[in-house]
Amino acid sequence: MSEEKTLKISKIEDGIVIDHINPGSAMEVLSVLKINGKSGFTVSLLMNVRTSKGNSKDVVKIEKKNLRKKELDLISMVSPNATINIVENFVIKEKFNVSLPETVHDIIRCQNQNCVTNAKEPVKTVFTMEKKGDKLLYRCHYCERTMTMDEIRNSITK
């Protein structure tokens, strides 16, 4: 392909590349990381680009950013197939897939208004993953209410 027809986006020197994000979910990834235009980060965002395998994906590059475990868990809930590339000095030092945590602390808000985690002096939430056929659910440790992945995505990206 001629150069004018090839999509080019700069490599980064230091930071993270979140690759293979579900197509259309890049904004949700930024949302769970609480990154917006006022955060000061240099961010590149690609949406609905073609992969070499002919599928679509989103990509987010954030310069000078580290990710904590909680942030990796949040990304996994928005986009379970995302790949994290940690870049130092232009070189990928580490590459791994996010993975949905078995147990999640203080991330998911329970949708049961009467749950102790929604009380006046709330207890921090704890949810545990369950498989129901090919569907994944997370169950509240306190009231046993379950949440689907769609419900979780809606609640954490708000």
Say how far apart CA 120 and CA 64 lie, in whole Å: 38
The answer to whether 157 contacts ligand CTP (rule: CB under 6 A) is no
The angle subtended at Cα 88 by Cα 84 and Cα 91, nearest 5°, is 80
One character per residue 68-87, x = contact with ligand CTP (rule: CB under 6 A): ---------------x-x-x
Using CB distances below 5 to 8 A depending on partner kind, what does residue 17 bind out of Zn ion, ligand CTP, none?
ligand CTP
Give all strands (DSSP E) within the chain, no chain letters.
Answer: 15-21, 43-50, 56-63, 83-88, 91-97, 103-105, 126-132, 135-140, 146-148
Partner in contact with 110, chosen from Zn ion, ligand CTP, none, beta carbon below 5 to 8 Å by kind: Zn ion
Per-residue binding string, ligand CTP, 7-26, x by CB under 6 A, is ----xx----x-x-------
Closest by CA to 142, choosing from 99, 102, 106, is 106
Interatomic CA distance for residues 76 and 99, integer angstroms: 6
The listed partner (Zn ion, ligand CTP, none) that binds 92, CB under 5 to 8 Å by sort, is ligand CTP
Give the binding site for Zn ion (CB under 5 A).
110, 112, 115, 140, 142-143, 145
| Cβ atoms of 77 and 156 closer than 8 Å | yes
Nearer to ligand CTP, 14 or 151 (CB): 14
Handedness of CA 79, 16, 34, 114 (dihedral sign): positive
Residues numbered 43 to 62 that lie near ligand CTP (CB under 6 A) are: 59, 61
Nearest distance in Å: CB 112, Zn ion? 5
Chain residues that interact with ligand CTP, rule: CB under 6 A: 11-12, 17, 19, 59, 61, 83, 85, 87, 90, 92
